[in-house]
């Protein structure tokens, strides 16, 4: 049976029809929860990723993580991302996620630069351990019938994306998202288009380019310079989930009144899913939504205190 990645590949590889890239909401811890994923989906995100979930937490204390990973049908195709460094934990976490969450795919994190994650030997630093990385990917594939994808960096230490992928090229990895920045760059700075292009030419398969895409122009630049099938959007969607529409239309405009409507919709979803806690967690999104408004700093001072939808309406004067 064809998985959802293959249908995207067919659309993007079709040389006769207009080349059609796909756009993914990249995984972002503390940000890409169900409410935000649904909003991005509404604006045209083709695939949405969960926040990264700890494979170890899914072994020892699964309930809170399973709760975090729940999704609505509107988010499909939805990919759950796991991080960790213990293959046995990946085996259990993969089985549990497949059975209890039933996402459309499972992704493995080889890109996280956070110190706490590095200390566990997980995330980006795993790229330096080719043997363990391979074992983790093999175990994940073995324990699910869902398509398995990976997300890695352009380079970590002496291992670049080419060397890393070369060591796992015989495994059934359905898609690779490459963040075109090194581990030491973190989440900002110039993106290495060249390495993504080399990977694309060398391995074929489904390559999703990630890093620094903010708007139509940067999306086009990424596609032209890398030849990737799709793009992963992280920070470009913060406070601008309509970016997914903007990527497809060169002169797209969104007015303040339209933004206010989206803010309320997002808040209602957050409240429906998590109650008051949802609104509190959403405060950062509220602050991002008003970036560039003339009274942004005044509004933000209020937004960091809001606890319910009525207070949000009052701040927005809506």
Contact between 164 and 155 (Cβ < 8 Å): no
Measured from the CB atom, is 70 or 187 closer to ligand FMN? 187
235 binds ligand FMN (CB under 6 A): yes
Backbone angles phi and psi of 271, in degrees to 5 = -70, -40
How many residues in the shown chain lie near ligand FMN by CB under 6 A? 22
Cross-strand bridge partners of residue 106: 80, 148
DSSP state of 25: E
HSE (side-chain half, CA atoms, 13 Å) at 199: 33
Beta pairing, strands 159-160 & 148-156: antiparallel
Quote the CA–CA distance of 44 and 256 in Å, as a whole number. Answer: 20
* Interacting residues with ligand FMN between 126 and 165 (CB under 6 A): 151
CB of 81 to ligand FMN, least distance (A): 6
For 66-80, b/e burial (b = at least 16 CB within 10 A) is bebbebeeebebbbb
Measured from the CB atom, is 48 or 141 closer to ligand FMN? 48
Contacting residue, 39, 45, 52, 150, with ligand FMN by CB under 6 A: 52
Contacting residue, 77, 87, 105, 234, with ligand FMN by CB under 6 A: 234
CB of 306 to ligand FMN, least distance (A): 21
Measured from the CB atom, is 75 or 316 closer to ligand FMN? 75
Measured from the CB atom, is 283 or 313 closer to ligand FMN? 283
Measured from the CB atom, is 11 or 29 closer to ligand FMN? 29
User: Is 112 known to be catalytic?
Assistant: yes
Joined together, the tokens standing for residue 37 give 């994923």
Contacting residue, 89, 174, 179, 285, with ligand FMN by CB under 6 A: 179
239 binds ligand FMN (CB under 6 A): no
DSSP state of 7: H
* Interacting residues with ligand FMN between 55 and 84 (CB under 6 A): 81
Beta pairing, strands 175-182 & 230-233: unpaired
Contact between 293 and 256 (Cβ < 8 Å): yes
DSSP state of 237: G
Contacting residue, 210, 222, 239, 269, with ligand FMN by CB under 6 A: 210
21 binds ligand FMN (CB under 6 A): no
Which residues, in sequence order, are CB contacts of 186 under 8 Å at separation 6+?
Answer: 113
93 binds ligand FMN (CB under 6 A): no
Place of tokens 């989906």: 41
26 binds ligand FMN (CB under 6 A): yes
- CA dihedral 26→30→31→37, nearest 10 degrees, is 80
Quote the CA–CA distance of 209 and 60 in Å, as a whole number. Answer: 34
Contacting residue, 29, 68, 132, 296, with ligand FMN by CB under 6 A: 29
Per-residue interface string for the shown chain with ligand FMN, residues 94-113, x marking contact by CB under 6 A: ---------------x-xx-
Joined together, the tokens standing for residue 27 give 């995984």
Which residues, in sequence order, are CB contacts of 261 under 8 Å at separation 6+?
Answer: none
Single out the segment in contact with ligand FMN by CB under 6 A; choices: 14-22, 232-240, 248-256, 258-266: 232-240
Contacting residue, 9, 24, 31, 101, with ligand FMN by CB under 6 A: 31
CB of 107 to ligand FMN, least distance (A): 8
Q: Contact residues for ligand FMN (CB under 6 A)? A: 26-29, 31, 51-52, 81, 109, 111-112, 151, 179, 187, 210-213, 233-236
Q: Which residues have a catalytic role annotated?
A: 112
């Amino acid at each position: 049976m064809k998985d959802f990645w293959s249908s995207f590949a067919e659309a993007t590889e079709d040389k006769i029809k207009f080349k059609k890239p796909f756009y993914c909401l990249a995984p972002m811890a503390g940000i890409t929860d169900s409410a935000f994923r649904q909003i991005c989906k509404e604006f045209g995100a083709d695939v949405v990723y969960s926040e990264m979930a700890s494979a170890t937490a899914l072994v020892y204390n699964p309930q809170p993580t399973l709760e975090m990973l729940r999704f609505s049908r509107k988010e499909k195709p939805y990919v759950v991302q796991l991080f960790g460094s213990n293959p046995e934990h990946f085996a259990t976490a993969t089985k549990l996620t497949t059975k209890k969450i039933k996402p459309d795919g499972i992704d493995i994190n080889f890109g996280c630069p956070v110190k706490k994650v590095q200390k566990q030997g997980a995330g980006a630093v795993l790229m330096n351990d080719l043997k363990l990385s391979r074992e983790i990917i093999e175990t994940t594939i073995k324990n699910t019938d869902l398509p398995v994808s990976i997300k890695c960096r352009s380079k970590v230490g002496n291992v670049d994306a080419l060397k890393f992928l070369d060591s796992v090229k015989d495994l059934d990895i359905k898609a690779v998202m490459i963040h075109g920045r090194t581990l030491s760059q973190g989440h900002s700075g110039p993106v290495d288009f060249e390495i993504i292009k080399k990977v694309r030419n060398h391995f074929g398969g489904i390559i999703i380019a990630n890093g620094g895409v903010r708007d139509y122009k940067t999306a086009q630049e990424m596609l032209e310079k890398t030849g990737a099938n799709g793009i992963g959007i992280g920070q470009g969607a913060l406070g601008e989930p309509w970016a997914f529409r903007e990527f497809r239309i060169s002169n797209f405009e969104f007015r303040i009144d339209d933004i206010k409507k989206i803010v309320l919709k997002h808040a209602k979803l957050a409240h429906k899913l998590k109650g008051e806690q949802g609104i509190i967690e959403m405060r950062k999104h509220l602050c991002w939504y008003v970036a560039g408004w003339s009274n942004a700093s005044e509004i933000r001072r209020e937004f960091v205190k809001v606890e319910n939808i009525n207070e949000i309406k009052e701040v927005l004067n809506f």
